Structure 1
Amino acid sequence: MRILVTGANGLVGSRTCLLLAEQGHEVVGLGRGERRVSGSWRYLPCELTREQEVSTLVAEAAPEAVIHCASMTEVDACERDPGLAFAANVEATAFVARASRRAGAHLVHVSTDYVFDGDAGPYDEEALPNPRGVYALTKHMGEQAARVLAPGCAIARTAVVYGWPAVAGRSNFGAWLVGVLAQGQPVRLFEDQLVSPSYAENVAAMVAELGLRRLGGVWNTCGAEVVNRVEFGRAVCEVFGFDAGLLVPVKMAELKLPAPRPLRSGLRTDKARRELHARPLALGESLARFHSDWRRERG
């Protein structure tokens, strides 16, 4: 199958390209600037906020499925520059969706649990979004653009994606946490925010399946367990052999962050566990794989 993946230099995008190529599919990855990840798939630089560029490259690739992983995910950066966030998360999604429809390709749009306010999580696929903050608002608007311009598309919501190695020039929560703990430094973690930590390779497997099977609708493609960030940190310490005494629980309100973040968040994965072959992984299994990646990379 011919599949185009955006955000090919990113955490989920690069893993999705690699997985699909290993499965024997013809993969074209689009990314900003030069290629920063290796793999036996074709890479093309593309600025997704330029509609003609997107339209031309998608038409030339003639994909049967498009998996749109690219996004501006830095929550505080989105709050500081709403125009840039709107261009990256809404306009670019609209351009990709429109080009996908013209190509007759099934679109999988990767979104986030931040579309919810965090008052009553964890959330299933039927829950009504209520985004707060620029990042959340633009991601929700991106979902609507995908639905309108690519009817029948899949909306794949994920959360707190982590993996090793981190992509070039960009860390992720899990990689950052391991890096700090490996140096024996204390780390402050939210004890009052519930999340669904998601291993990048597992997310890639689920969004790839949505594309290959041309499944539509909303899907929670994330880790199978909902924990607070301190609990996640303790689980990391147990698997990696770090000192859990380095974890310093804090309340989110204490840090006075620029952008709002959902507190009682997290996503329910009953639908994905019931209907997908690539099922959401339990936290223990995800961290075991994460640890194996870390040890292999360190030699």
Structure 2
Amino acid sequence: MSKRILVTGSNGLLGQKLVELLPQQTGVELIATSRGPNKLAELYPQVRFVPLDVTDRTQVEQVLAAERPTHLVHTAAMTNVDECELNQEACWAQNVTAVENLVATCVQLGIHLTHVSTDFIFSGEEGPLSEEATPAPVNFYGQSKLAAEQVVQASTGAWAIVRTVLVYGTAHDYGRTNIVLWVRDSLRAGKPIKVVNDQFRTPTLAEDLALGCWLVAKHDATGIFHISSSEMLTPYQMALQVADYFKLDKTLITRVDNSSFSQPAKRPARTGFIISKAQQQLGYQPHSFQEGIAVLARQTEG
């Protein structure tokens, strides 16, 4: 059966990876949407693009009624953790109100909704975590994403929640950096860096997250799925792997603990995911961190 998939936040990192991936699948029609102008117009002129501000209920209703997707993958969100702590109203509008708008309209029109969530809904006291772990967020971003999950879970329609961890990747005209490029570029410039060694994550290549979202839609899967890599690493361990891959000077990397940084939002110490459910039910297979570095190297260095 053909699928007509609408993606929110198509200008973001995950959104861009979905715009790249979905048209390659048989029987998939893609509608890309974003609040700002389409950044991918020149790269993918064949992809249909519709402007959409998900915080505007009327606009959500009009666009979904006009486009009639069978599936919606919701990637748009305010994800800068410190910004969420400092601008809680904006965070709530983008991360919760938007989801209320989408859920209500998806139920009305019979659209399968895949909502992207985060490991930051957890306290960080234990990990790796299964889908059944009890959420207890330690910052406002995590609270907003947990509230959004609760809205989705209360839906009477078909829904899936895809949770992920520390996503890294590169995208077109995308302002934010990530751990791989930051470490590589700092060391190449001979700049010493401090990297924490008391936070544990299962880092996720953006392409793997896009694949996970597609597999959920492809199988019309419902429920919660943890989509990340299966390797538990600290940012310091990741930085060493990046230095090794690009043959850069590891002595520039200083291992520190989280208390040496003053950030507005608290970070959970230990998250990371158990991904066996996604592997067994969806056939999901992620890259290792080493393979992920190689993917980024090819994309940024030709």
Q: TM-score when scaled to structure 1?
A: 0.94
2:32 pairs with 2, 7, 29, which one?
29
Deviation readout 1:201-251 (Å, 9 max, x if unpaired):
111011111012110111111122110000011111122222222212111
Aligned residues: 296
- Superposed, 1:216-231 pairs within 5 Å as 216-231=222-237
Structure 1 residue 294: Cα displacement: 2.0
Residue 195 of structure 1 corresponds to 201
Q: Which moved more, 1:33-42 or 1:114-123?
A: 33-42
Structure 1 residue 183: Cα displacement: 2.1
Contact between 1:185 and 1:246, CA under 8 Å: does it hold in 2?
yes
Structure 1 residue 277: Cα displacement: 2.5
Does 2:43 correspond to 1:41? no
- Tell me, in whole angstroms, the C-alpha distance in 2 between the residues paired with 1:167 and 1:252: 31
Return the letter of the residue paired with 2:88.
P
Structure 1 residue 164: Cα displacement: 2.1
- Tell me, in whole angstroms, the C-alpha distance in 1 between the residues paired with 2:172 and 2:244: 21
Structure 2 spans left out of the alignment, 5+ residues: none
Q: Which moved more, 1:119-128 or 1:280-289?
A: 280-289
Q: Which moved more, 1:44-53 or 1:275-284?
A: 275-284
1:14 pairs with 13, 16, 22, which one?
16
Q: TM-score when scaled to structure 2?
A: 0.93
Contact between 1:180 and 1:187, CA under 8 Å: does it hold in 2?
yes
- Tell me, in whole angstroms, the C-alpha distance in 2 between the residues paired with 1:102 and 1:174: 42
Structure 1 spans left out of the alignment, 5+ residues: none
Q: Which moved more, 1:147-156 or 1:59-68?
A: 147-156
Structure 1 residue 82: Cα displacement: 0.6
- Superposed, 1:54-93 pairs within 5 Å as 54-93=60-99
Q: Are the structure 2 counterparts of residues 166 and 230 from structure 1 closer, same or farther at C-alpha, using a change threshold of 3 Å?
A: farther
Partner SS for 1:273: helix
Contact between 2:179 and 2:239, CA under 8 Å: does it hold in 1?
no
Structure 1 residue 45: Cα displacement: 1.6
Partner SS for 2:154: helix
Fraction of identical pairs, as percent: 32
Deviation readout 1:40-84 (Å, 9 max, x if unpaired):
311122111111111111111111110001110000000001101
- Superposed, 1:129-140 pairs within 5 Å as 129-140=135-146
2:161 pairs with 131, 147, 155, which one?
155
Structure 1 residue 166: Cα displacement: 6.0
Q: Are the structure 2 counterparts of residues 91 and 150 from structure 1 closer, same or farther at C-alpha, using a change threshold of 3 Å?
A: farther
Contact between 2:195 and 2:256, CA under 8 Å: does it hold in 1?
yes
- Superposed, 1:1-299 pairs within 5 Å as 1-24=3-26, 25-37=28-40, 38-39=43-44, 40-149=46-155, 151-165=157-171, 167-296=173-302
Contact between 1:222 and 1:269, CA under 8 Å: does it hold in 2?
yes
- Tell me, in whole angstroms, the C-alpha distance in 1 between the residues paired with 2:186 and 2:37: 29
Contact between 1:65 and 1:212, CA under 8 Å: does it hold in 2?
no
Return the letter of the residue paired with 2:18.
T
Structure 1 residue 175: Cα displacement: 3.1
Partner SS for 2:162: strand
Q: Are the structure 2 counterparts of residues 66 and 259 from structure 1 closer, same or farther at C-alpha, using a change threshold of 3 Å?
A: same
Structure 1 residue 150: Cα displacement: 5.1
Contact between 2:106 and 2:157, CA under 8 Å: does it hold in 1?
no
Contact between 1:32 and 1:45, CA under 8 Å: does it hold in 2?
yes
What is the aligned-residue RMSD (CA, Å)?
A: 1.5
Contact between 1:166 and 1:172, CA under 8 Å: does it hold in 2?
no
